[in-house]
A and B are shown apart, each in its own frame.
Chain A
Amino acid sequence: MLRFFGTSAASDHCHLQRRNGSVHHELIRPNHYRPRNVIRCCSTARGRNKDYYQVLGVTVHSTHQEIKEAYRKLQKQHHPDIAGYKGHDYTLLLNEAYKVLTRNLSRHDDGKSRAGLGSGYPRDGYSSWNGPLAVESCPVNCIHWVDSQELPVLEFLSRPQPKEGHGIFGGGWEQPRNVFAAAKNFAKRLQREEQELEREQSSRSHGDADCEAETEAQAGARRRAGEVKEHLRPSIDFGD
């Protein structure tokens, strides 16, 4: 059994920490007594990040142009010139994400974008939290026990998803209110879609190019997820 925490509660009260051997994390972990600036110095490499797609609010299928637009839009909200000094850390993260994503894209900028259910759903969990446990001190009821198979779905759904907009109204990002209900629903739909896909494939004798492209596009997401997959025992550290 694994623990899953509702992200809305988690981001408010808990501070998630990840341990994957990166030097930045080692820097912070045993040294809670260190002056704040040192921690700040390494904060870009902390916790939730590295999922640059999420930082920019784009998917693995987004084109160069879409990434650029998302980056500029976010810069206009968070750049220290506009948002004040509190925008500093976030802008750093944006810059890093933009740099990495555009560098990756220049290698395979096919400009194609696959829409549909679960585009960007990595099918692997991101969770690899491994740190001190402090369940008692959690101020809200945000811990739920889930199966390890459910974890990736929940994580995927608790990330904000682009909402369909009409003109300038209604666009933006949404998160399901009840992530567990949404997960159940999603799993059903996913299963149905996969079955259909299988049927389609078996009806054709060869796997066609479309299929190939899909796997290739997913590979990036899988690779990223794979890096952190070793530890699948999540736990939480409630900041300080």
Chain B
Amino acid sequence: MGLVFVRCEAVVQRRGLPGRRAVSADLFRRGGRFILQPRLNSSVLGGDSWLSIVVKRGKTSRWCSDADIAIRSTTSKGKRMAEQFYTVASDSETTGEDKSQLSFPDVAIGIDIGTSKCSVAIWNGHQVELLKNTRNQKGMRSYVMFKDDTLSAGVTGGAAQESAHEERDILSGSAIFNMKRLIGRMDTDEVVQASKTLPFLVQTLGIGVRPFIAALVNNMWRSTTPEEVLAIFLLELKALVEMHLKHPVRNAVLTIPVAFSRFQQTRIERAFAMAGLHVLRLMPEPTAVALLYAQQQQQLMHDNMGSGIEKIALIFNMGAGYSDAAVAATAGGVSQIRALSGCTVGGEDILQNIMRHVLPNFDSLYDGHTVDRIKSMGLLRIATQDAIHKLANQESVDINIDLGNGQKVSKVLDHSEFEQVNRAIFEKCEKIIIQCLVDAKLEPEDINDVILVGGCSKIPRIRSLVLGLCKKEVSYKNIDALEAAVSGAAMEGAIASGVTDPSGSLDLLTIQATPMNLGIRADGNNFAAIIPRNTTVPARRDMLFTTTHDNQTEALIAVYEGEGEQAEDNHLLGYFKIAGIPPAPKGSVEISVCMDIDASNVLRVFAGVVKPQGPAIPPFIEVRMPTLDDGHGWCGQALAKMYGKTIDLAVLPKKLQP
């Protein structure tokens, strides 16, 4: 394809700054569009916006004003892009169709899939807008209803026409929910074990394979997978967004819990791919909140230069399935994540604890999934949920419910009892907050604001616990507890898609950190962390290893993620072998293992022999992790059984390193 190539002069403005300057650029013509590329020596940066372009050719010069220039940087195309280009619509040659495409650049939408509720937000050109479904809800229940041959998700309220019946229908066994807790988990996982009391069928064999999940359709259990359920839900969500935007949507920024393993992340990405969406960024939920906080602080201070007063916020997010904590330092629209921590406790656990408390023979009662039992279990769930919600605003609550089959529950629940029953959960929350503060090397006095988000942040005990740990009287008020994460995701979507905002409200950046240690198995069954947790992303670290046997020609690199000291306590992400190591006494070969995480959170592992050198050394190996697909509980054991310690590695002590 021939490109018309013209040198031109463009007027550029730095975001948020007065003053303009002219830079030279090349104007290409590709198809029906003009592409403006700054010349090498003109320092045009990502944050610059083009104001006008003067094209001089011979004696004539043509001037395009900002109204004619619909510029977008092609950053949204992702990492394949080598250099930054700007697409310019010419004033005369663009057809109407092209214009409509250009006026709707491919901006990633923000999606927050909660364990219980889900929301979606878009950047509408001026601000973040949360979309509502036909029932005027911003937070839509996350579930998929299986009915005869039709599937319907919670986006449109497929379960029932009236929302009053919705909850009861969801709990009839025909709907699958809590996908976020089940996705990417093996049946030995305690979260999966706890999910067996849900109205739909979760069957476990306890051998480290994926659980069997099924919905009740016409009195028959029909099997499905969490990925499939999520994809069906996302399809409906995507349709909702496309109906609103009137153009197709391809990219999305998704918020995920901090405790999500990389394996779970690939599962959720697969669900998105099934729904035809590309995940541009996966954002830990509290970091999305931190971005929103950074924007509010920036607008408060009118500060765009990354300087100014630094504010440190502790964000605690507790939803139905997960709890996360983060410490973020914010200045001038840059939010720097100092520490992250998370665990898998949430409102669902509180609910189950209370259900067990009011009905002591709960487990024996709901051992099998008969229609009667499902029905009474649903009634108990609804009553308990109501009670917990009421308890947020009142001292005590009555639970009176007829479960059928002569079962009746009548109980008065007050705060102290509620706290007693859920003590373990509160302790876990406390633990992650303390860990977060320790990792960030901060004292409670250093925290400027405490931000509480998520459904469970309304529980008085949680509020007092977090505020007490941070020695604060009140929490930060300008953030909506349920909408913050999705708003942050939509903002990140716009930033990562290359949208700039003339008023400077998108002049933001999140500097992410890794939530978990990443490393390999070495020194027997130990875990050698190569990228420790809370390392700033993008990150790249390497470490030297050596052989454990004389004349060892092969070495196994087993990559793990997690907090455990022992490799087995962590999630196995994948493994590969370095073969062709030249024969040498043990400890004399040097093997370098390098890990690289890019801004879209892709992990690559590079490994190879670095000493001795020579033409006989095999080339390095690059592996994108995780490589494991299923049954990762088994792989570690299978490897140990097959090879034992014959191809192990040991950490090369620092003093031997040059």
Contact = CB atoms under 8 A, between A and B. Distances in A.
B254 interface: no
Interface stretch (A51-59, A69-77, A141-149, A205-213): A69-77
Interface stretch (A32-40, A182-190, A192-200, A215-223): A32-40
A9 interface: no
B467 interface: no
Nearest to B334: A72
Contacts of B509: 75-76, 79, 81-82
A181 interface: no
A30 B613 contact: yes
Contacts of B332: 72, 76
Contact of B540 (A44, A87, A168): A44
A78 to B, nearest CB: 8
Nearest to B594: A41
A73 B538 contact: no
Given A23-B657, A30-B613, A88-B598, A37 B622 contact: yes
Contact of B83 (A37, A81, A86): A86
Given A73-B307, A88-B599, A79 B511 contact: yes
Contacts of B496: 81
B606 A88 contact: no
Contacts of B539: 92, 95
B485 to A, nearest CB: 18
Nearest to A33: B619
A101 to B, nearest CB: 13
B154 interface: no
A23 B498 CA distance: 38
Given A72-B336, A79-B509, A23 B622 contact: no
A99 B536 contact: yes
B592 interface: yes
B457 to A, nearest CB: 28
B323 to A, nearest CB: 27
Contacts of A26: 610-611, 613
Contact of B78 (A37, A72, A73, A85): A85
Interface in B449-505: 492, 495-496, 498
Contacts of B610: 23, 26-27
How many of chain A's residues touch chain B, expressed as a range?
35 or more
A113 to B, nearest CB: 16
A229 interface: no
B544 A23 contact: yes
Interface in B557-574: none
B590 interface: yes
B536 A80 contact: no
Contacts of A140: none
Interface string B62-98: 0000000000011100111111100000000000000
B307 A69 contact: yes
B14 to A, nearest CB: 9
A79 B599 contact: yes
In terms of DSSP, what is the predominant structure of the interface of chain A?
helix
Given A35-B619, A76-B509, A84 B495 contact: no
A220 B182 CA distance: 53
B438 interface: no
Nearest to B305: A73
B112 to A, nearest CB: 19
Interface in A112-148: none
A38 B599 contact: no
How many of chain B's residues touch chain A, expressed as a range?
35 or more
B81 to A, nearest CB: 5
Interface string B311-342: 00000000000000000000111101000000
Nearest to B441: A106
Contact of A38 (B333, B511, B606): B606
B383 to A, nearest CB: 46
B243 interface: no
A87 B45 CA distance: 11
A41 B45 CA distance: 25
Interface string A97-116: 01100000000000000000
A26 B608 CA distance: 13
A38 B619 contact: yes
Contact of B592 (A27, A81, A84): A27
B585 interface: no
A22 B658 contact: yes
Nearest to B330: A72
Contacts of A23: 544, 590, 592, 610-611, 657-658
A119 to B, nearest CB: 21
Contacts of B542: 24, 41-42
Contacts of A82: 45-47, 75, 495, 509
B510 interface: yes
A55 B222 CA distance: 59
Contacts of A85: 78-82, 598-599
A77 B598 contact: no
B177 to A, nearest CB: 33
Nearest to A35: B619
Contacts of A87: 46, 599
A76 B495 contact: no
A106 B514 CA distance: 23
Contacts of A80: 79, 538, 598-600
Interface of A: 21-24, 26-27, 30, 34-35, 37-38, 41-42, 44, 68-69, 72-73, 75-77, 79-88, 91-92, 95, 98-99, 168-169
25 contacts: A22-B658, A23-B544, A23-B592, A23-B657, A23-B658, A26-B611, A27-B592, A38-B608, A38-B619, A41-B540, A68-B310, A69-B331, A72-B307, A73-B305, A76-B334, A77-B45, A77-B46, A80-B538, A82-B45, A84-B46, A92-B538, A92-B540, A95-B539, A98-B536, A168-B19
Pairs A-B, 4 closest by C-beta atoms: A72-B306, A80-B599, A82-B46, A85-B79
Given A38-B608, A73-B307, 17 more contacts: A23-B658, A27-B610, A34-B620, A38-B619, A41-B622, A42-B594, A75-B511, A76-B507, A77-B45, A80-B598, A81-B495, A81-B496, A84-B74, A86-B82, A87-B46, A95-B536, A168-B17
